[in-house]
Amino acid sequence: MNKIIATGKVVSNPELKQIKEDSQVCQFRFVIKNVKDVFIDVEVWGKQAEIAAKHLHRGKPLLIEGYLKQDQWEKDGEKRSKIYIGLDRFEFLN
């Protein structure tokens, strides 16, 4: 099972990107407050991407629910990877 549920704050203003005519993605950075803060990128697709881009901003507290994803690529002959959260849903917190 690959599931993550966390509360924290948005630490970068969301960026909405149009991928295809009918597909868009919103990306932002998130901090999970714990004994040691964990900073992680978040990605959300489709209609939720529009909502996130419109209503989220730096400092906004959220509950997020999603799954961990990993991208891998090679740059200048060096293998690289990135772990981030694929968002299923989010909920605004006061």
pTM given for the model: 0.87
Q: What one-character DSSP code corresponds to residue 55?
A: H
pLDDT at position 34 over 90? no
Place of tokens 């419109």: 54
**CATH number of the domain that 54 lies in?**
2.40.50.140
Total domains, the chain: 1
Distance CA 81, CA 83 (A): 7
- Judging by DSSP bridges, how do beta strands 78-92 and 38-45 pair with one another? parallel
Bigger pLDDT: 54 vs 34: 54
Residue 54 parent element (H or E): helix 47-55
Q: Determine the structural domain holding residue 30 and report its residue range.
A: 4-92
Region 25-47: what's the mean pLDDT?
A: 94
